[in-house]
Amino acid sequence: MNTKDNIIKLAKETIAIESKSIENLAHLIDSDFADAVELIYNSKGRVIITGIGKSAIIATKIVATLNSTGTPAVFMHAADAIHGDLGLILKDDVVICISKSGNTPEIKVLVPLIKNANNKMIAITGNKDSFLGKQADYILNAFVEKEACPNNLAPTTSTTAQLVMGDALAVCLLELRGFSSKDFAKYHPGGALGKKLYLRVHDLSSANQKPKVNLDTNVKQVIIEISEKMLGVTAVVDQDKIVGIITDGDLRRMLTKVDDFTKLTAKDIMSANPKCIAEEAMAVDAMDLMETYGISQLLVEHNGVYAGVVHLHDLIKEGII
């Protein structure tokens, strides 16, 4: 077997091993999981998530997911906790300890300290009979048969299982809180994701020029309007109501059909009933319309009155596409 074939084979085996283990997690969800979700949901405090080694890295990701979906969470490294960081835990906080074995030295020192402070503790572990499993108030069983590592040593399948269990926890809490896309946008104002959730058509079209002509505007003036406003399009209006649109493509098609266009007006070459969008609509909706109809511009309306143009380039520039 050549090297490339061997790499592909090993990659597929890794994915197969991990996917089988993740599928098995569904059979491990029980009343402890539901009770843990309700505990966090009804808590007046935060969620403190701790772990050591690779489990600590998974803990930071779960913390990030919870924070971004409406559940305040803080990461506390298990080693640092027993050297001064225990003060991070407040009276009403719920603590989640993550450990595959549940028997690491740091966990064995940390767990009794948490219990002495009377904080409720949830374990995400692959060993229900471990020290951590026996001490926890609730267990989220993340058992896996084996690691994807050929030596069954490097945390691979086990950390993936921990991560999936954390995602399941976050999604359940998200649903209980009625966390909406508007809430999500509040926590994700930056980047393309945030913009998809809060950016409106008006935010884009208001920065553009506003090309428009009347029904009887001659073609020369139409060309000048499109060229000057640099959007490749102009609206055709009748008392500020949109009645048509003329694009660069319409002008090119006109030139292939007539030799003398000096007597033509906007009404003669426009496309009637153009695709429009309300200025209060989400920018992502404008993107969907453009993709659906294979167009690069949309005319924008406000209460039935022409309000401007939103261009495909606007969406690209803002990272919506």
Q: Are residues 228 and 279 in the same domain?
A: yes
Residue 178, burial from CB neighbour count under 10 angstroms (0-12, 13-18, 19+): exposed
194, part of any domain:
no
pLDDT value for 59: 97
pLDDT value for 172: 96
61, part of any domain:
yes
Domain of residue 296: give its range: 201-317
- Residues sharing a CB contact under 8 Å with residue 235, sequence separation 6 or more, in sequence order: 211, 212, 213, 242, 244, 245, 274, 299, 306, 309
Amino acid at 55: S
Q: Are residues 32 and 76 in the same domain?
A: yes
Amino acid at 6: N
Q: Are residues 205 and 130 in the same domain?
A: no
Whether pTM > 0.95 for this model: the answer is no
pLDDT value for 188: 59
Q: pLDDT tens for residues 230-254? A: 999 999 999 989 999 999 999 999 9
186, part of any domain:
no
Question: Which residues carry a binding-site annotation for Zn(2+)?
Answer: 77
184, part of any domain:
no
212, part of any domain:
yes
CATH at residue 270 = 3.10.580.10
Q: How far apart are CA 232 and CA 253, in angstroms?
A: 14
Q: Are residues 39 and 161 in the same domain?
A: yes
Alpha helices in the chain (DSSP H): 3-25, 31-42, 54-68, 78-81, 105-116, 131-135, 157-176, 181-187, 191-198, 201-205, 219-229, 248-257, 266-269, 283-293, 312-317
Number of domains, the chain: 2
| Residue 245 bridge partners (DSSP) | 235, 271
Q: Are residues 7 and 155 in the same domain?
A: yes
Residues of the chain predicted below pLDDT 70 = 1, 181-197, 321
Of 254, 216, 242, 238, the closest CA to residue 297 belongs to 242
Q: Are residues 24 and 98 in the same domain?
A: yes
83, part of any domain:
yes
Q: Strands of 94-99's sheet, edge to edge? A: 73-77, 47-51, 94-99, 121-125, 138-141
Q: pLDDT tens for residues 246-291? A: 999 999 999 888 888 888 999 999 999 899 999 999 988 999 999 9
How many Cα neighbours within 13 Å face the side chain of 187?
14
Task: Tabulate helix, strand, coil % of the chain (nearest 5).
Answer: 50, 20, 30
Q: Are residues 172 and 206 in the same domain?
A: no
Q: Are residues 42 and 172 in the same domain?
A: yes
Q: Are residues 175 and 270 in the same domain?
A: no
Q: Are residues 76 and 172 in the same domain?
A: yes
Per-residue burial over 29-43, b if 16 or more Cβ lie within 10 Å, else e, is eeebbeebbebbeee
Q: Are strands 305-311 and 233-238 parallel, antiparallel or unpaired?
A: unpaired
Q: Are residues 158 and 219 in the same domain?
A: no
CATH at residue 63 = 3.40.50.10490
pLDDT value for 83: 86
Furthest CA-CA distance within the chain: 92
pLDDT value for 184: 67
188, part of any domain:
no
Looking up tokens 């380039």 gives 313
Asked whether the beta carbons of 271 and 283 are under 8 A apart, the reply is no
What angle, 0 to 180 degrees and rounded to 10, lies between the N-to-C axes of helices 3-25 and 157-176? 40
